[in-house]
Amino acid sequence: MGLSGILLKKKEKFDFDKLIYDIRCAANKASIICLDGMEYEKNNNGTYEYVTFVLKDTEVETDNQFIMYVYNDVHNMVDGMFNFIDEKNNYQQCINIEDFRSCKMLLNFIYEYLKLNLDDIFYDELKWHYTFMDIEKIAKSENFDSEWCYKNPRE
């Protein structure tokens, strides 16, 4: 069984089209296969409410994959939900990552994504959050820690 996590973005910096582009770009830079548009839902005016992506490390059937839900309704989300991370900025959930099993593949994707979005934050279900600097330190470590996402980056 894997963990789940979310990517947070400052509300005023949210741009759905750029978010989709950045996901594809980060997956490509991390050498991860990105199957996009697997599921989606449009609202009454024809805009996307969400789009799902499947990211996997090979084309064959494997457990080394995860699903991402990319939301386009960040402007309708409750303000202040993540004030405990940063009181000055209104962070909103823009991507939900479900049930990842490969911490290395996730790290590679998150690192490439955060290089494109330096202010975004990765928050996992253990209630820990990782900034770009946290992820970069883990990614550039000489000895990869396969348990990185199970450890508090502040300790």
pLDDT of residue 74: 67
pLDDT of residue 130: 94
39 lies in some domain? yes
pLDDT of residue 111: 97
pLDDT of residue 60: 53
pLDDT of residue 1: 42
Range of the domain at 135: 3-150
pLDDT of residue 39: 59
Mean pLDDT by 10 residues, the chain (155 residues): 79 90 93 75 69 75 70 74 88 83 85 97 86 95 87 83
155 lies in some domain? no
Strand spans (E) along 2-131 = 3-10, 33-42, 48-56, 65-71, 91-100, 121-124, 129-130
> CA-CA distance, 81 to 83, in Å (whole number)?
6
pLDDT of residue 110: 94
Q: How many structural domains is the chain composed of?
A: 1
pLDDT of residue 24: 92
- Find out whether 129 and 7 touch, Cβ atoms under 8 Å: no
